[in-house]
């Protein structure tokens, strides 16, 4: 079942699960998980590790999260802190990011997340989309150093997680094209963020067709100008339904995470997805 509780309405059955991030109802992780577990089948636990926001769960919280998951029959994905830079040219920053990524993976294995999602920044990481900092295949940037450093770090994380392919890399401010070497080597799979594709003026349907075989989680949110993570109501509804129909027919059997950060945006976005025509 793709939706439960107060947001429930009649909808076509999907082969994928629908979820949301753990930042919809404020910053309290447990409050978000408890609330979302009554509404949806999947929760993306978004972790932060900055001087201003630090929500890494401790032992008791991890046990409670696992208990909620089992009782409510919801699955989890962990989004590792966006501030990590495991491919940074700064060796100290790269090693510290890799150390923390390993630590968080090992610490949270207890409640059996389906996947770990990781940003792999090329430019300095930012939580705010910056005009002009989207890189695609037309840019003449030298990616060789970034690719080599990323390979080294991803091989280490792959060994930590074993052969289960639990690690997903999210396309952020660059085309998924640059992630192909890592996916082709089996070091990771893909968290395909459709909102980031829109920011980069890439064709979403073309990317879905090209990368769906690598994709286990899809991030879906509205974009207006250079502002993202908005309600899907600001996008043409027929466009969202076109994507959903394609994913239903494919069929895509992973998770679609509505990556919005307010109850109203979640309700509006969920309703649009669930109104997808049955054909």
Q: Per residue, what are the HEC states of the chain?
A: CCCCHHHCCCCCCCCCEEEEECCCCCCCHHHHHHHHHCCCCEEEEECCECCCCECCCCHHHHHHHHHHHHHHCCEEEEECCCCCCCCCCCHHHHHHHHHHHHHHHHHHHHHCCCEEEEECCCCCCCCCCCCCCCECCCCCCCCHHHHHHHHHHHHHHHHHHHHHCCEEEECCCECHHHHHHHHHCCCCEEEEEHHHHHHCCCCHHHHHHHHHHHEEEEEECEEECCEEEECHHHCCHHHHHHHHHHHHHCCCCCEEEECCCCHHHHHHHHHHHHCCCCC
pLDDT, residue 131, reads 67
The rounded distance, in Å, linking the Cα atoms of 256 and 279 is 19
Q: Taking phi first (over 0 means left), then psi (-120 to 50 degrees means alpha), and beta for anything else, what does residue 169 get? A: beta
pLDDT, residue 5, reads 43
HSE-up of residue 266 (Cα within 13 Å, Cβ side): 26
The rounded distance, in Å, linking the Cα atoms of 220 and 242 is 13
pLDDT, residue 140, reads 65
pLDDT, residue 81, reads 94
Residue 10 pLDDT > 90: no
Q: Which of 153, 159, 160, 136 is nearest to 89 (CA)?
A: 153
- Tell me how far the alpha carbon of residue 194 is from its chain's centroid: 10
Comparing 133 with 47, the larger pLDDT belongs to: 47
The rounded distance, in Å, linking the Cα atoms of 40 and 37 is 6
Tell me the per-residue pLDDT of 28-42, one tens digit each, with 9 for 90 and over. 999 999 999 999 999
- Which pTM was predicted? 0.94
Q: Which CATH number among 3.20.20.150, 3.40.640.10, 2.60.120.10, 3.40.50.300 corresponds to the domain 5-274?
A: 3.20.20.150
Report in angstroms the alpha-carbon separations of 175 from 8, 32, 97, 190, 246: 35, 31, 23, 12, 21
Tell me the per-residue pLDDT of 138-157, one tens digit each, with 9 for 90 and over. 776 779 999 999 999 999 99
Q: Read off the pLDDT of each residue in 241-251 and give the average, rounded to a whole number.
A: 97
pLDDT, residue 221, reads 98
């Amino acid at each position: 079942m793709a939706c439960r509780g107060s947001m429930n309405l009649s909808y076509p059955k999907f082969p994928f699960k629908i979820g949301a991030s753990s930042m919809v109802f404020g910053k309290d992780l447990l409050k978000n998980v408890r609330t979302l577990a009554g509404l949806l089948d999947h929760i993306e636990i978004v972790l932060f590790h900055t001087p201003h926001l630090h929500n890494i769960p401790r032992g008791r919280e991890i046990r409670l999260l696992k208990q909620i998951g089992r009782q409510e029959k919801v699955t989890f994905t962990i989004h590792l802190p966006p501030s990590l830079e495991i491919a940074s040219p700064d060796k100290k920053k790269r090693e510290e990011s890799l150390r923390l990524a390993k630590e968080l993976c090992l610490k949270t294995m207890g409640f059996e997340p389906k996947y770990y999602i990781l940003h792999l920044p090329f430019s300095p990481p930012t939580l705010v989309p910056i005009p002009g900092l989207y890189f695609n295949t037309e840019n003449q940037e030298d990616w060789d150093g970034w690719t080599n450093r990323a390979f080294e770090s991803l091989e280490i994380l792959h060994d930590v997680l074993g052969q289960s392919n639990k690690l997903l890399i999210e396309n952020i401010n660059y085309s998924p094209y640059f992630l192909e070497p890592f996916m082709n080597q089996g070091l990771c799979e893909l968290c395909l963020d459709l909102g980031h594709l829109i920011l980069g003026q890439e064709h979403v349907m073309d990317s879905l067709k090209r990368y769906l075989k690598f994709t286990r989680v899809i991030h879906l949110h509205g974009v207006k100008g250079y502002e993202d993570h908005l309600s899907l109501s600001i996008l043409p509804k027929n466009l969202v339904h076109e994507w959903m129909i394609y994913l239903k027919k494919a069929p895509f059997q992973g998770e679609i995470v509505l990556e919005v950060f307010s109850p109203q945006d979640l309700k509006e976005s969920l309703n649009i997805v669930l109104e997808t025509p049955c054909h």
